[in-house]
Each structure stands twice: as C-alpha cells, then as structure tokens.
Amino acid sequence: MKGAIEHPKDARAMLHQKHSTDPKGIDGSSRRDFCQQTKSQQARAMLPLKHSTKPKTRLTLTPLEQNIYFAAKNAKDGVVSLEIIRSWKLAGNNTLQVTLTNMVKKGWLARLRKGVYLLNESPGVAVKDPFSIATYIFPGYIAFSSALYIHKLTDTLPFEVQVATRNENGSRRIGEYTFRAIPLGKRYSLAKRENGCLVSTAPKTLYDCLAHPDLAGGYPQILNAINEAKLSETEWRELLYYAEKFEPPAFYQRLGYILELLPKKNNEINDIIKICHKKVKSNIYLSARRKGKYIPRWKLVDDIGKDELLGWWY
C-alpha cells in the first residue's frame, strides 16, 4: 500500500524463515543448542526486535499528489499558489492542505512563502534558477550584487540572492541558497524584466551598490562593475537622479574619487567626475573609519588603498 510504513520483521518471522532455509537455525546454531537454552533466553529470543532507526516514509506519490504534481508542471517557473491549486478542484480544502504538507515533507514541493510552492522534479530541494523564484519569496525586485550578476557586471555567482522590497525584511534558506529581503523604503523604485527576472536597471543597481557598498562586495567590485557597465549619458543621468533625490554630498565625493582612479575613462565618466567635484564639502572617509591616505582634492581619506580598489584591473 502506498504511503504505508515498513516495519522490520519480528523475531518469530525471522526464526521461521531461517529454519525453513537453514537446517542449523538462527546464527548457524543447531536446533539442539536452541532447545538447550533456558526458558528466559528462549522468551527473549521470541520478543520483537528493537528498531535501530525510525521507520522511513515512502517518497512515492499518492494518486492525488500525482494529479497536483503533473498539473503544477505547467506553472510558470515551477511555482504554484494554493489559490490556483484550489481552482483545479481536485479535492476539498482540508484534504488539499494535508496533501500539500505531505508533498513538502516528501520533498516534491518546497514552500516559498505562505500559500506559494515550488515544484521539484525529484524529491529534495534543488533550486535550478534562484533568481526566477526570488520575488515569489519576497515581493520586490532583485538588487545589489545579485543584480550585478544578472546584468553581467560581475562573474561572482551569489549564494545570497538579494531582493529589494518596499518594507519587508527577513531571509529564507531554500536548498543551497539564502534569499534576503532588503527594505529600501522611499528608495524603492520600478524595475525591469531581464532574463525572466524582475531586476533593478543597471543605473539603479549601481546607485544602490554605491549607497550600500557592503551589499555589493565593497568598492573594488563596484568600481569593476562601473567599468564593465559603460553607462551612456542617459543612464548616468538616471543614476544621478537617485543621488540628487536621496544622497548627501559625501555620496558624490566617494563616487568622484573612485571614478578618477579608473585607468581608462570615457567622456561620460569625465563629465560625472566634474559634477561630483562640485559637491565636495566636508572631510569624509571612503569606507570605515580607519587610517588611510588623505586625498585633498576630494577631502577624503582613502582607507582602502588604490591597489586594492584596482586589484581587478591589474
């Protein structure tokens, strides 16, 4: 029977089976040896064997689970909601809830959030494309270093997929990936669909990374991404739009300084450097408050170092 739990055979059955095939009896001992045992020894031998491990639930699917599985295979990104499953009218609500819970336990489904499930092709959680399911877990768009990867501005595949949200915070681990929601509040913006994923635009991605370098691998990786992006004048204008709206002068000082370090600069970058230099005011640090080289032109202490900032170039 499917879904049944297999139990080890008891001592009587094992004894009977052994006697029918082995004239010497259990463990190679003769019937005479067994008969010579004391009654207490014989009684202990006839007791059921103790389970060394817990019984395992079968991973096969019941007929109802099969219907859900094959219907869900047509879902976009392999993600299906409880509302959609109910619309198939395969069973009553309570039965569906129990069945879905059992499918999660067996590994055929992974619960992304309340009422939303990811279909697995075989038992176990193996996420093929973490970016395509990230926004099902947290409503928002892919951002920061995860967005850099989607825009091909970094070769580093992140095992933490970052999702920008308006207010929601938290994290979920599914398979080998961690999905993290980062609330941006008023900095939350519209996004675009690229490679099947809802992701911030390249200029907005770079702006977010500059505003939160700790979420982007640090300034060396951001500078490398800027070099790879080769933003157009229009795209730079989009980045500066967010900076003008939300950031203090220190944002421009840091941006202008790292741009000036680039060995090769196009006209757009030279224009941005001029704009940034006009914003220079107070003394600031590039990163954490550590010792470093003071740059008078930018009133900035470089506490990272040119060699590290341009390590990707050499």
The 3-state secondary structure of 41-62 reads HHHHHHCCCCCCCCCCECCCCC
Per-residue pLDDT at 128 exceeds 80: yes
Residues 276-296, mean pLDDT to the nearest whole number:
94
- pLDDT value of position 289: 78
State the chain's mean pLDDT as an integer: 85
Residue 125 pLDDT: 66
Alpha helices, H only, the chain: 11-21, 31-35, 39-46, 63-72, 82-87, 93-106, 130-137, 144-150, 202-211, 219-229, 233-246, 249-260, 267-277, 306-309
33-45 average pLDDT score: 47
Quick one: average pLDDT of 285-295?
92
49-53, 94-98, 154-158, 256-260: segment of lowest average pLDDT: 49-53
Contacts of residue 308, defined as CB under 8 A and 6 or more positions apart, other chains included, come to: 220
Is the pLDDT confidence value at 195 over 60? yes
User: Is the pLDDT confidence value at 20 over 90?
Assistant: no
Cβ(149)–Cβ(156) below 8 Å: yes
pLDDT band of 4, cuts 50, 70, 90: very low
pLDDT in tens, 103-126: 999 999 999 999 999 999 888 767
Run of H or E residues at 180: strand 177-183
- Say how far apart CA 59 and CA 308 lie, in whole Å: 51
